[in-house]
Structure 1
Amino acid sequence: MPRDTLTREQIVRTAVELLDAEGLEGLNMRALGKRLNSAATAVYWHVKNKDNLLTLAGDLVWDEIRLPDLEQVGWRDAATAMAGDLYAMFARHPWLVQAFATHLFHGVGKARHDDHSLAVYERAGFTGPQADRACAAVFTYVLGNAAPAAATTSLTRRIESEGRDPQEAFAAVTREAMEAARGFPRLQARIDSADHTTDYAEAPKDTFAFGLTSLLDGLSARLETAPH
C-alpha cells in the first residue's frame, strides 16, 4: 500500500488488529508497516510515534461499547449494560487493560463513553462529584475483573516465546500455589471441596455479575439514605 494511499483510520485499525494478535510487546512500526504493505516510515506521516499510535488505538475501541437510551431504560439496566460491554471490550482487547498502567488514554471515543456514564448516574440521582465517584467505582471494578485475564494472555505469549508449553507452566504454578495454601484452613477447604469444579486460581462462576449487582445495590442504598 503506497504511502499516499494510507489514512490514519487504516493505520489505527490495523494497529488494533496487531495489538489483538501480538499484544503490547508486538506493536512496532516495522510490524505495522508489514501488515499495511507499506514502509514503516510512511506511518509517521499520520501518527507522531508509538505512544501516540497506542493512544489512538486505545480510543478507537471505546466505540464498541453501546450507549443505552436513557429515555427507554432505567439507570440500573443502563449501568449494567455498559459495564457488561466494557468488560467484553476489555476481554477482546486485553492489551488495553495492561496499557492502563502506563498510559493515560483519552480521545473522542472514550469521552463519549465517559459522558454517557455520567448521564446514567445523574439519572439515578447522583450529582456533581457523587456522579464522578459512582462512575469511577464501577469502572475500576470492571477494570480489576478484566486484569487477570489480560495478565494470563500476556504471560501465555511470553511463555510461548520462550519455547515452553503454557499449559504445563500454569499447571506447575497451580500446584505450587495449592501447596502453599495447605497451611490455611479456608483455602484447604476450598481445595478439598467436593463441589469445587474450577481450578484453584479461578473465581467461581458468575463472580463478575455478583460483584456488579452488589456494587449497584450499594449505590442504590446511598441514594435512598442521602439527604434531599
Structure 2
Amino acid sequence: MTAKQFSSVWFRESGPRKASSPGRSREEIVAAAMELLDEEGRDGLSMRKLGARLMAGATSLYWYVANKDELLELVYDEIWGEMSVGDPEHIHWREVASALAHNMRQVILRHPWSADLIGRMPALGPNALQVSDQMHRMFRLAGFTGMDIDFAGATLTSYVYGFTIPEVAWNSTTADVEYDEDEVRAKVVKAAEGYPDLMERVRIIYEDPNVARAMAFDFGLVSVLDGLERRLAT
C-alpha cells in the first residue's frame, strides 16, 4: 500500500505563489477570503464566490493556490498573525501566558470558522510558527525543560481550544435564530427543578451569559497556570 504524500502550500519549493503580472495580489485574495469566511462561514467559501468578490475569474485564482485547501491554509495562518505573545524577558511568564490565552480565545470568537480548522489543518505558516516559537521560549524562560516545554504549551492551547470551540459551536447554532430569552430561561429552570445546587447556578449564569463565560474562562485559565507553576516548584 502506497503512503499518501503529505502536501501543503508551505512546502512548495518556492512557497505560496506570487503574482508575476499586475493584478490581484495574494494578500488581497487572502483578505477577501477572510471577509467571506467571517460573513458566511467555511461552507460559504468557494473559489467562484471569491472570484466574484474580487471581480476576477475563479480560474485566475488558481495561479496563487492549487485548490481550496491551500487557500484555507493561507487564511488559517492569517489568524495566527492576529495573536501576540508578550516578551517573557521583561514580563512574568504567567502574565504572558494569560494574555496569550485570552487573545487566542478572542481571535477564534472573532473568526468562528477557524474552529473548524484547528486540529484538522497543519499550522505550518510563518505566523503560526512564530507564535509557537515564542510560546516555547516563554515556557523555557519560565524554567520548563525538555519535553515539558512542549507539554506546557499543549496544556495551555488545549485549554483554550477546549473552552472556546464549544462556545463557537453554540454561537453558530443560535446565530440565525432569535430565541425568547425569558422563555429559554424558564425552560432551563424547569428542567433543573429537583436539583437545588444546579438551580442556584442556573440563575446566576442567566443573569449575563457572556460575563459568566468570561469568568469561567478566567477561572479555568488561572487554575491551569497554577498547576503549571506548581510543577515548576517541584
Contact 1:98 1:150 in 2 (8 A): no
Identity percentage over the alignment?
A: 38
CA contact (8 A) 1:23 1:154 kept: no
1:72 corresponds, among 77, 87, 90, to 90
Q: CA deviation at 1:190?
A: 2.7
Structural mapping, 1:56-67, within 5 Å: 56-67=74-85
SS, match of residue 167 in structure 1: coil
Alignment of 1:190 with 2:208, yes or no, is no
Q: CA deviation at 1:149?
A: 3.2
Q: Is the 8 A contact 1:67 1:116 kept in 2?
A: yes
Kept in 1, the 8 Å contact 2:185–2:206? The answer is: no
One of 182, 189, 192 as aligned partner of 1:181: 192
1:50 match: 68
Coordinate RMSD, CA, aligned: 2.6
Question: What is the Cα deviation at residue 202 of structure 1?
Answer: 8.1
Equivalent residue number for residue 216 of structure 1: 225
Aligned residue number for residue 115 of structure 2:
97
Unaligned 5+ runs, structure 2: 1-20
- How far apart, in 1, do the equivalents of 2:125 and 2:39 lie? 23
1:7 and 2:25 matched: yes
Question: What whole-Å deviation, never above 9, does each CA across 1:2-42 have from its counterpart, x for those lacking one?
Answer: x8502222111211111111111111111111111111111
Secondary structure in 1 matching 2:81: helix
> TM (normalized to structure 2)?
0.81
Task: Specify the alignment match of 1:163 in structure 2.
Answer: none
- Structure 2 counterparts to residues 23-172 of structure 1, below 5 A: 23-100=41-118, 102-156=120-174, 160=176, 166-168=177-179
Q: Using the alignment, how far apart are the partners of 1:156 and 1:29 within structure 2? A: 27
Structure 1 residues 196, 149: closer, same or farther in 2, change over 3 A? closer
Cα separation, 2, equivalents of 1:74 and 1:32 = 44
TM-fit CA distance, 1:126: 0.6
Q: Which is helix-richer, 1 or 2?
A: 1
For residues 171-207 of structure 1, give each alpha carbon's deviation from its aligned partner in whole angstroms, at most 9, with x where no partner exists. 77666554443343432333356x96235x9845522
Q: Report the 3-state secondary structure (helix = DSSP H, G, I; strand = E; otherwise coil) of the residue aligned with 1:5.
A: coil
| Number of residue pairs the alignment of both structures matches | 214
Quick one: which amino acid aligns to residue 233 of structure 2?
E
In structure 2, distance between residues paired with 1:61 and 1:173: 34
2:178 is paired with a residue of what secondary structure?
Answer: helix
- The letter for the 2-side match of 1:184 is Y
Q: Aligned equivalents of 2:221 and 2:115: distance in 1?
A: 18
Please give the TM-score of this superposition, normalised by the length of structure 1: 0.82
Tell me: CA distance 1:169–1:144, structure 2 relative to 1, closer, same or farther (3 Å). farther
Cα 1:53–1:169 shift into 2, 3 Å? farther
- The residue aligned with 2:215 is 206
The 2-side partners of 1:156 and 1:34 are apart by 29
